[in-house]
Amino acid sequence: MENISIHKTAIVHPGAKLSSGVSVGPYSVIEGDVSLGDNVRVASHCVITGQTKIGKNCKIYTGAVVGSAPQDRKHSADDNVFLNIGENNTIREYVTINPGTAEGGGKTVIGNNNLIMAYAHVAHDCVIGNNCVMANAATLAGHVTLEDGAVIGGLSAVHQFVRLGRLSIVGGCSKVTQDVPPFAMVDGHPVKVLRTNAIGLKRSGISPETIALLKKAFKILFHSGYAKTNAIEKVVQTIEMTPEIEHLVFFAKTTKRGLC
């Protein structure tokens, strides 16, 4: 371990595992079961607690509380639960992130290269993929899943057990009570599917031909008046099965809360 920098006012438990290049700012607290990877930066007045593992190159800004007990009445202080955060994540001011619950599988998992903006909340047993964005004060209830590249606008709330599909985008101040399809742009209170996330699809390198197929699939699934089962069958029968279309169909078939 080299180049570790701990401010004289910070409190770091001797059992905490700090890798090379870690820095801990003034008045921050790092508790004993915490593991910080190479070059993790913890700003001032942060608390990192619980059985929390944070991968290399993450940046945690002022006032964040990471790994505190789940806000779940069934949780006991003796439960063996975890929070695993990947690499290159940015966790902005006053974000709160909870570990899993014993009944929910025991883990909250966050992937790589995510941006979680100020005052956002990630509740127990959530699974966040890679390259996701949660804007200011976006909140996830328990057991929420974000697939890769999902974006949530500021002041939006996501109901428990809801899934947000790959490269979907949720407008600000939205109420999300059902699954958001992959590649979709949604907005409202509660949210409704508006169209495909055209800008997100282009930025991710999806081909124009596939984007055109997704637009056709969305028209059938969400704007044709077909029942869900019939709409899915129509998509399968009439649209070329690229990997993106296959993923959209699989997501629609496996929804438990229904599609918004």
Which is it for the CA torsion 72, 67, 157, 187, positive or negative?
negative
d(CA 18, CA 36): 5
d(CA 110, CA 108): 7
Catalytic site residue from 45, 75, 121, 124 = 124
Catalytic site residue from 142, 149, 165, 200 = 142
125 included as an active-site residue: yes
Which structure tokens are listed for 225? 């008046």
124 included as an active-site residue: yes
d(CA 176, CA 258): 11
d(CA 34, CA 250): 37
Strand ranges of the sheet holding 184-188, from the earlier edge strand across to the other edge: 5-6, 23-24, 41-42, 59-60, 90-91, 115-116, 133-134, 151-152, 169-170, 184-188, 191-196
Catalytic site residue from 50, 86, 100, 125 = 125
In this structure, the number of other CB atoms found within 10 A of the CB of residue 150 comes to 29
**Could you give the residue numbers annotated as active site?**
124-125, 142
